[in-house]
Amino acid sequence: MPAQDFSPGLAIQGFTPPLRLSGFKLIAFDMDSTLINIECVDEIAGAVGLKDEVAAITEAAMRGEIADYKESLRRRVALLRGVTVADMELVYTTQLQLNPGAEKLVRACQAAGLKTLLVSGGFTFFTDRIRDRLGIDFTRSNVLEIESGPNCGQLTGRMVNQPWGDICDGAEKRKMLLETCARLGISPKQAIAMGDGANDLPMMGEAGLSVAYHAKPKVREQAMVQINEGGLDRLLEVLA
């Protein structure tokens, strides 16, 4: 079913608005280019002069042109070897911003009793800070390995395996959404999932309401709500 324009820059398909925000119990957010304004891996790569190379891989992965997301992330992270924690701190303090309407939407969801989940193919260095800044309940993302010894404080170009697995890709985002719903004793149809890239589609496909935010074409095509102009809080226009 083709999406129908709801208002300028906002399109819907598969339902008639408004839905009731209180009818949902969980909202899941992607981080990079959804909840925040940058792709962190690209900006980190800028510290070693490789932003363009890494950004090209990121763009292809987000458009769904690279089938193996895990391998694409390993390739990008390998190029980060030698980046320092201080470099990442600079990205956080000088480049990373919440996208317009992010805090307003999160607060509205929290006020309506929804739990919040941040699932990212990015890194805990950033997701943990966004979690604390917004009071998000649950997170899942990747851990960058940091050198000890003579190169203490520099990235090794690898990620650290975690108890749940190695890399948070699309399949892991879906798994985390389903596990969080089970933990809360709710149906996935009582969840909202928001993202912009192809690796968000598996979790968006499980949710009762899927939202594409300034997203890649493949994601817009499959989402129930497309926010193509304005901030994340435009979702509230279709949620009473």
Query: Active-site positions?
Result: 30, 32
Closest CA to 222 of 237, 236, 210: 210
> Which residues are within 8 A (CB) of 18 and not within 5 positions of it... i.e. 6 or more apart?
238, 239, 240
CB of 61 within 8 A of CB of 69?
Answer: yes
Residue 162 pairs in a beta bridge with 165
| Buried-state track 214-230, b at ≥16 Cβ within 10 A, e below 16 | bbbebbbebbbbbbbeb
> Per the structure block, which two tokens stand in for 87?
């470099």
207 and 77 Cβ atoms separated by less than 8 Å = no
List all residues 6 or more positions away from 116 whose beta carbon is below 8 Å from its beta carbon: 26, 27, 28, 29, 106, 109, 110, 134, 135, 136, 137, 138
- Distance in angstroms (rounded) separating the CA atoms of residues 223 and 194: 9
Peptide bond into 18 cis (omega under 30): yes
| Number of CB atoms found within 10 A of residue 14's CB | 12
